[in-house]
Every structure is written in C-alpha cells, then in structure tokens.
Amino acid sequence: MKRHFILIFILFYFLGFSQCEDSDKLDFGGTYLSKTNNYIPFDLEISDTIQYCCDIKKIKSYSDFIFKKSEDYIIERGGIEFYNNLKIHQLEVNFNDSIKIVYDNQKLYNLSNYKVTYWILYTYTNKNIEYGFGLEFDKNGEMISENKFPKYSGNLDFENLSNYCDALEIVKKDKRFKDKTVDYIELAYLDNINSFCWLIEEKRNQNKELGKWEKQVVNQYLVNANTNELEKIIKKESMSIASGVKINYKTKKQLRKEERKRKKLENK
C-alpha cells in the first residue's frame, strides 16, 4: 500500500511539474526562415512525393562536403550529445540575385560555376521542446552566419533546461508584466551569455478602431534556461489593423509549409 502511495505521489509530482497556467502557449522556438529569397531547396529523403523541390543527389558531391563541415563545426562548438539531438530539416543553396532560379535548369546544379552559399536548417529536440536554426556556409565550407546555440566549453550544462513553468512564474511576478497576458513562450538563444533562454512575449492589445493602423508595443522577456534569471527585456514594435475579420493565427511550421508550397508553384 505504501509503495502504491509513493508511485501515485511521484506521478502527480511530475504531472504538476510539466503543466502550469499558460503551458499550452509553448511554441516552436527559433526559425525555419530562409536566408535569402533566391535559393533552391533540396529534399534529404526522396519519396514518391518530393516535399520541397529537388533531389539532393543532384548536388551530392557538394552537399556531402558541406554536411561534413557543418557536423565538424557543431560538434566542436556544442559537443557530440548536442549534435545527436539535431535533425537536418532542409538544405537550401543560395544564389546571387542576378541568377534566375528555374528548377528545370540543369546548369544550376553544377554549383562550382556559381558563387553560392549553403543554408542548412536544423531542428533541436530536448524532451518536448523544439528549436529551429540555420547555419550558413560558403562554398569552401567556412561557417559565415552568427552563432545559434551555446558553446559547450563555456557552458557545460546548457542542455539541462529549466522548466518553462518556472520562467513563466518569474515573468508574471515582474511589475512590468502587470495586467498583461502571455502570447507565447519558446526556446531562444542569447549569444552574449552563451545560453538558451525562455522567450516569453506579451499578448497584444485589441485595436481600438476598425480599419485604422495602430502601433503596438509589447515586451519580450528572456529568462535564462539554466539559471532562471531574467536576463533581458526587449521592446517589440509592430503595426496592426483591425478589419473585423477573424484571423486564425498560424504556427511557424504552418507558415514554413505554406512558403514551400508558394515557392514550388512559382517554379512551375
């Protein structure tokens, strides 16, 4: 009987630890956005239905080289355990704007004839948390984009993420959050502190008048995902208009999927 009581207690403890008010606002962190508008996207796994556009076998000699360079960079910076928690989402080859992208133009796949860069999109998974980021490499395999994840040697525990419920509680106790509500929470990265953070954004207010553009300013709170310290508050400005039409807000993954469909249609 005592053993059953302990098991029940442990079960309720972990359920309570993983759920809290606004835990349903957890969103996909980071981004799947493309680096440029002039690129060719490549499928990594080819099936009967090609998801993005092009068979990566067309550029295999180039992609194998870039993937190895990327693997070396990630392991050197983030460690092998971090690398093993990654999945490649997509590879995009970026061309100069002067080059017209037509998927059927086979000359474009001879990449040595062009000044290209490679944009590799990754998904990092840590339990139920997902974070997307891109790394850009030049044709020689040199990483030329900003850092998107912590350096292991400077933060050995960077993958031991705190509970985002604790971050929500910290933000809600801040006087600047008074009378505010949570729009979303996601995993983010702050390079100046070499740590992942919980990014919590306030929900925007309703526009006062229909058909009129209004400036909206909300706070983004960045809570250190290792120490639970409030590191930074960013004021985010945007313009919005109330049309009287109900808007169904979409997740980042849904927006990314629509972008791929649009680009595929443009090349038909």
Q: Which of 56-60, 68-72, 119-123 has the lowest mean pLDDT?
A: 56-60
pLDDT tier at 244, thresholds 50, 70, 90: low
User: In this predicted model, which residue has the larger pLDDT, 247 or 126?
Assistant: 126
pLDDT score at 239: 82
- The string of pLDDT tens digits covering residues 132-190 is 999 999 999 999 999 999 999 999 999 999 999 999 999 999 999 999 999 999 999 99
pLDDT score at 208: 73
Q: Cα(64)–Cα(172) distance, rounded to whole angstroms?
A: 47
Question: Is 106 exposed, middle or buried, given 0-12, 13-18 or 19+ CB atoms closer than 10 A?
Answer: exposed
Across residues 195-205, what is the average pLDDT?
96
pLDDT tier at 258, thresholds 50, 70, 90: low
Judging by DSSP bridges, how do beta strands 117-126 and 129-138 pair with one another? Answer: antiparallel
pLDDT score at 241: 76
Q: Cα(198)–Cα(164) distance, rounded to whole angstroms?
A: 7
- Where do the domains of the chain lie, and which CATH numbers do they carry? 23-158 (no CATH), 164-241 (3.10.450)
Q: Is 60 helix (H, G, I), strand (E, B) or coil?
A: helix
Q: Is the pLDDT of residue 16 over 90?
A: no
The residues that bridge with 238 in the sheet, in sequence order, are 216
Q: Is the pLDDT of residue 10 over 70?
A: no
Across residues 192-215, what is the average pLDDT?
89
CB 221 within 8 A of CB 233: yes
pLDDT score at 100: 97
pLDDT score at 52: 54
Q: Which of 13-22, 64-73, 112-121, 214-223 has the lowest mean pLDDT?
A: 13-22
CA distances from 38 to 25, 93, 119, 138, 208 (A): 33, 9, 12, 15, 39
Judging by DSSP bridges, how do beta strands 182-190 and 86-94 pair with one another? Answer: unpaired
Cα 90 vs. chain centroid, distance in angstroms? 13
Q: Which tokens in the block code for residue 53?
A: 């556009």
pLDDT score at 256: 55
CA distances from 162 to 27, 166, 172, 184, 223 (A): 16, 7, 17, 17, 10
Q: Is the pLDDT of residue 249 over 70?
A: no
User: In this predicted model, which residue has the larger pLDDT, 205 or 200?
Assistant: 200
pLDDT tier at 218, thresholds 50, 70, 90: very high
Q: Cα(162)–Cα(167) distance, rounded to whole angstroms?
A: 8
pLDDT score at 94: 98
pLDDT score at 257: 57
- Number of residues that make up the chain: 268
Question: Is 252 exposed, middle or buried, given 0-12, 13-18 or 19+ CB atoms closer than 10 A?
Answer: middle
Across residues 8-18, what is the average pLDDT?
43
The residues that bridge with 233 in the sheet, in sequence order, are 221
Phi, psi of 96 (to 5 degrees): -60, 150
Across residues 103-123, what is the average pLDDT?
96
Single-letter amino acid, residue 249: Y
The verdict on pTM exceeding 0.75 is: yes
